[in-house]
Amino acid sequence: MPRRVLVTRSEQSFDLIEAPAPSEHHLQEVVKTSPQLIPADDLGLDGDLLVVGRETSLASGYIDLLCLARSGDLVLVEFKTGPQNPDFRHALAQAIDYGSDLWRLSVEDFDRGVVQRYLAGGRVDAAFRGARTLSEAIERTSWDLTSDDRTALFERLTEVLQTGDFAFVIAAQRFTDSMKNSLDYLNATMRRGRFTSWR
């Protein structure tokens, strides 16, 4: 049975019914233009996320979505929808591969090799078209960063890239108890990084 959400607006109420995404591409498009849908608070992150990569080529494949938090944390998102991608282990392995591709990059290499390629491509959100670097993209966010905030963001991003302390999100239409248990295990035993399921 689908979940429902009650929405109240101007003294009118209506319910929304959860429906599966028609395709991985559609889900990516929705989340790319509305990255606030990613459960950042479940990952211990505040504020909206900035998309800095979408189907961006890394050494081990194409990462579905890569986001930057205001804090400088990175969120790697792998979408698995429909019967074409039923294997949770494969999605989890892909996410880990992508994390290992980013691990130990300098901020400059990350900007040049990942962010700038995304910004120059056709998949960038309209609000960020024309931005050529990570710094320029950050300037276009609603984050309203002070000079100290900006310094802290880049210091944290440097640390995250060096330590591999990434947040991983596996987005799928359903998760079994075994899948959830695997994520709980990883989160309980890892020194760095966080995993979450999202449906």
| Domain boundaries of the chain, sorted by first residue | 20-198
Half-sphere exposure of 26 (CA within 13 A, CB side): 8
Which pLDDT band, with edges at 50, 70 and 90, does 102 fall under? Answer: very high
Q: Which two tokens stand for residue 43?
A: 């990952």
Is pLDDT at 198 greater than 90 in this prediction? no
Phi, psi of 175 (to 5 degrees): -130, 135
Question: Which range (72-86, 132-146, 177-191) has the least confidence?
Answer: 72-86
Model pLDDT, residue 199: 66
Predicted model pTM: 0.85
Q: What is the pLDDT of residue 86?
A: 56
pLDDT (average), residues 180-187: 84
Which tokens hold the place of 30? 């929705």
Percent of the chain clearing pLDDT 70 (strictly above) = 93
The mean pLDDT value for 89-110 works out to 93
Using a 10 angstrom Cβ sphere, with 0-12 exposed, 13-18 middle and 19 or more buried, the burial of residue 77 is buried
Most confident stretch, 90-99, 148-157, 186-195: 148-157
For residue 57, give the nearest of 123, 6, 139 by alpha carbon: 123
* Mean per-residue pLDDT of the chain: 87
How open is the CA angle 43-58-46, to the nearest 5 degrees? 20
The average pLDDT across 35-61 equals 90
Q: Give phi and psi for 190, each to the nearest 5.
A: -80, 140
Q: 160 is written with which tokens?
A: 């995250």
Please give the average per-residue pLDDT across 159-172, as a whole number: 91
- pLDDT at residue number 1: 66
Terminal Cα-to-Cα distance of the chain (whole angstroms): 14
- Give tens-digit pLDDT for 21-33: 777 778 777 887 7
Check residue 52 and give its pLDDT. 96
